[in-house]
Amino acid sequence: MSSNFFAQQDLARRNTRILVVLFTLAVLLLLLLTNIIALLSLGFVDASLITDSWQWHNLPWHLVSLVSLVVIAAVGIAVLYKWQQLKAGGKVVAQALGGVRLTPDSTDPLQRRLLNVVEEMALAAGTPVPPVYLLPESSINAFAAGYSPSDAVIGVTQGCLQQLNRDELQGVVAHEFSHILNGDMRMNIRLIAVLNGILFLGHIGYYMLRGSRGSGAIRIGSGRSSSSKNNAGGIVLLALGLVVIGYLGSFFGNLIKAAVSRQREFLADASAVQFTRNPRGIAGALKVIASHSSHSKIANPNADENSHLFFGEAISRWASIFATHPPLASRIKRLEPHWNGKFPTPRSAQTATENATDGETNAAVAKPSNAERLQQALPLLLLHSSRQTEPAQALVCCLLLQQDDTCRTEQLRLIKELGSVALLQQVDQLCDTVATLNTLMQVQLLQRLMPALKALPETRFVQFTQLLQALLQVVDKPTLGVWLVSQFVQHNLAVQFDPSQISKHYSSKTLAQLAPVVSQLLALVSSVAGDPQQQQQAWQAASAVVNINLDSTPATVALPALGQQLPALLRLAPQQKQQLWQAIDACVRADNLLQTDEQALLLALALLLEVPYPATDSAG
């Protein structure tokens, strides 16, 4: 597997640190301006004090401290409030933008094409299939939002569905998956919260000004003293000053957002080509945006604060320095160096709708990509079942069923009692087909189950997780496949209903500090290598890569304990996680052979550790 994604994740992490520095500088500047306006407008000092340096000691520093404390508290509360709103991950952003979640089993031709493309790109990128939201916008745009691949969502506008052909839609979706793998989503969500804090002072001034209208504070004919009148006028002046500061905050905020966002868009375009192997797809989408009447503009009132998330420029800007995206022509030129600079004539929505079904048929007839081959390998019955909420639960149960008659009988009893008779019937219908799947196909099936399972009501999710725990408890010695299923469902499904399960921060710990769990994980990987000699060879190959002291022989693996410790590895910083993944990769390739079970383990661990593992990358 290319280390480019790890490098870009680390760059996104450094950009987040730069964002914090810029935010701090912006707050300090706004703090200074707020103090100056407060002191002058409320009459505590004369303007000459500001210019005469020898009189600075006469300033009411107690008031300066109070104003500073209030400003910092206000900005901090605004950031925390927005952070609290966004803690549930990508679905909150999608809903705020007016997105409506598509059902995984939708039969609408345009929606079905989109859902198929998202499935293909998820397989190509080695991520769980994310939920898809449709925005009621006539423009051509899309976004990805979330903290990590496990809670990511994809949003696409109606105009995108109606105007783009399949290749172009695939390029747009691949661009958004690139943001997921490059680590941009976590940075983008933090950017929303940080900018909300910068803009909050302006909101305070606006509401102060609005509240002072008609209030007794400025009724100059009410018999109040001249001091009261002056104070009232000072409050109005303070409110006006805060509004001006709000505009300055907006200026700095948009400048920070644009500076952070633009170069990441070029990178996502290039990464999209890596997934699709088709630069004309994404380049064609950019050309259609340029010729479309609404371009990529988003009308939703929340579009401004989320403008850096989108595929194209979502908001009109009066100056290019505030643009969150590079010019369309520049992006196209990088993808097609010999482009003649001409844009196509606008398309009708009817044409795209009529061609949607044909496009899916042609895609199936044409030479399939690696991701499409993975999709076509699964039996049709399982593909259809994976897109429906109830059958998707049955499929997970099938994956946990044991061959031992006694254990299997008990598991079927639990499915009936803790689930339902209908669920048991679906398990009975699907279990024989699931039993024909090899380990790799089982992991790929799990990838595509996520949208349907995340559509469960919360009460049903609680019942389902209780059922899964009961099914696992009757298994004396869980196999690797059963362990992987339980870990994957627990990790990727829980984040939908419990925001505390979302991995929002990187850990400062190193592999050396996590040596026991690293040793357990590498022992697990080496255990699938073959005979004892091959296992020892795999262990030594991993030991040569990871920069920690390991025993000369692999330890005995305790799967339950390893499952509890995996979150610590999930939160590793990109460079540490890259080194761990290189050790895992070296372990499975020590004999220069990549068996199906080893491929399955690589894919499953990539999903559990949220490591980019593109299906198009045969090198792992």
* Stated pTM of the model: 0.83
Does 563 have pLDDT greater than 50? yes
Tell me: the pLDDT tens digits for 354-376?
555 555 544 443 444 555 555 55
pLDDT at 49: 53
Task: Supply the residues annotated as catalytic.
Answer: 176
pLDDT at 203: 67
Q: Which of 308-312, 345-349, 553-557 has the lowest mean pLDDT?
A: 345-349
pLDDT at 247: 72
Helix ranges (DSSP H) in 401-509: 405-414, 421-435, 439-454, 458-473, 480-497
- The Cα 559–Cα 371 span in angstroms is 30
For range 304-324, the mean pLDDT:
82
User: DSSP secondary-structure letter at 562?
Assistant: H
pLDDT band at 5 (very low <50, low <70, confident <90, very high): low
Indicate where the chain has its CATH 3.30.2010.10 domain(s). Answer: 92-185+268-335
Does 168 have pLDDT greater than 70? yes
- The Cα 90–Cα 302 span in angstroms is 14
Task: Please provide the CATH number assigned to the domain covering 92-185+268-335.
Answer: 3.30.2010.10
Higher pLDDT, 211 or 472: 472
Q: Would you call 147 exposed, middle or buried from its count of C-beta atoms within 10 A (0-12, 13-18, 19+)?
A: buried
Say what the alpha-carbon torsion angle 519, 521, 526, 527 is, to the nearest 10 degrees: 110
pLDDT at 28: 80
- The Cα 114–Cα 117 span in angstroms is 5
pLDDT at 223: 45
